[in-house]
Structure 1
Amino acid sequence: MRGIEASRQVIDLVYGHEGRTHHGGGCSSATIDRAERELELTFPPSYRLLIKEFGTWDVPPTEFLGIYQTEAAGDVLLGSVSETLDARVSVDMPSELMVILLDDVWFFAVLDTSQPDQDGEYPVFAWNPGVLDGGLLEKIADSFGEFALKECRQKLN
């Protein structure tokens, strides 16, 4: 599984560059299950692995949304969950897309859950609500793990 192996490499990179990277303490399976129910989507294996490990993490300046909670927000699941739900309402993002990263260039990096591969991974696309025909601009990666690994390597070199 290319996505899972890439996610394992991301974990090694994040831990191997403590001080330059930041991460949370991870998410429980119950929290991940709740996030999937709220979004009415299933997370791909490579994303699930990283969320379970970190919850949320960044390799500055890239901030991976993940899933996390804060005392101020209470029981609300922040990160991918809140950004996806907000985008569905505010910019009419299709329900099969899941926001994984906010970006100044693309606007959103999303997983397209309508296109699973044989491993249950979804392709990563740039999505912009201002673009006709559904907003998909370009395919960025075949899986979340591969996308995250490329981003991390670029920022850490």
Structure 2
Amino acid sequence: MGIREAEQFVRLVRDHPEESVFAGGCSDDDIAEAERRLGVVLPASYKLFLRELGDCDVAGDEFYGIVLREGQMLGAVTETLDLRDSAGLAPQLVAFRPDGMGGYFVLDTSRVGPDGEAPVYAWGSGAHSATETEFIGTDFGTVAHDLARRGLRSA
């Protein structure tokens, strides 16, 4: 799981240009630099997303990735580092999407499985503290594909 669903997510974004915007893929060097700045190894399906789309919005749902602008690495990198500094986000978590309730969907890079995937949790929503998370799904690809399909159906 994960990679196949990430491929389906990328296809869904590209097949719906009227509902989707994406930054354009980034290089393996950019991904390695993001991992260095974040101090983590990113999961396989998220790396596929970064290579293919970079960063995107689907039917109003934003998925943070990597956006290079004027020497800065924006998106998941700046959002995650800001949350670590300002709200106590744990160093193994990487924020990739607002959850719509004041929190974020995060990848837990400390729990990467043999398939190279990391589970997705909700962090910082509602009454959750900086150390509490709620399980959302097994990997980025599956969660992103499901969210995008739902968003496009309701758009």
Q: What TM-score do you get using the length of structure 2 for normalisation?
A: 0.93
Q: Deviations over 1:125-146 (max 9, x none)?
A: 000175247121x211100000
Give SS of 1:104's match: coil
Aligned to 1:139: 135
- 1:26-45 to 2 correspondence within 5 Å? 26-45=25-44
Contact 1:26 1:55 in 2 (8 A): yes
Q: Which residue is equivalent to 1:49?
A: 48
Q: How far 1:103 sits from its partner (Å)?
A: 2.6
- Give 1:1-150 correspondences, 5 Å limit: 2-70=1-69, 74-105=70-101, 107-128=103-124, 131-132=128-129, 134-136=131-133, 138-150=134-146
Question: Percent identity over the alignment?
Answer: 38
Query: Contact between 1:41 and 1:96, CA under 8 Å: does it hold in 2?
Result: yes
The offset of 1:27, in angstroms, is 0.3
Taking structure 1 as reference, are residues 29 and 133 closer, same or farther at Cα in structure 2, changes over 3 Å only?
Answer: closer
List alignment gaps of at least 5 residues for structure 2. none
Structure 1 letter corresponding to 2:128: V
Opposite residue 67 of structure 1, the aligned amino acid is I
- Say if 2:89 and 2:130, in contact at 8 Å, map to a contact too: no
Contact 2:106 2:122 in 1 (8 A): yes
**Matched positions, count:** 152
After superposition, the CA RMSD in angstroms is 1.4
Three-state SS of the structure 2 residue aligned to 1:14 is: helix
Structure 1, unmatched stretches of 5+, are none
Name the amino acid aligned to 1:8: E
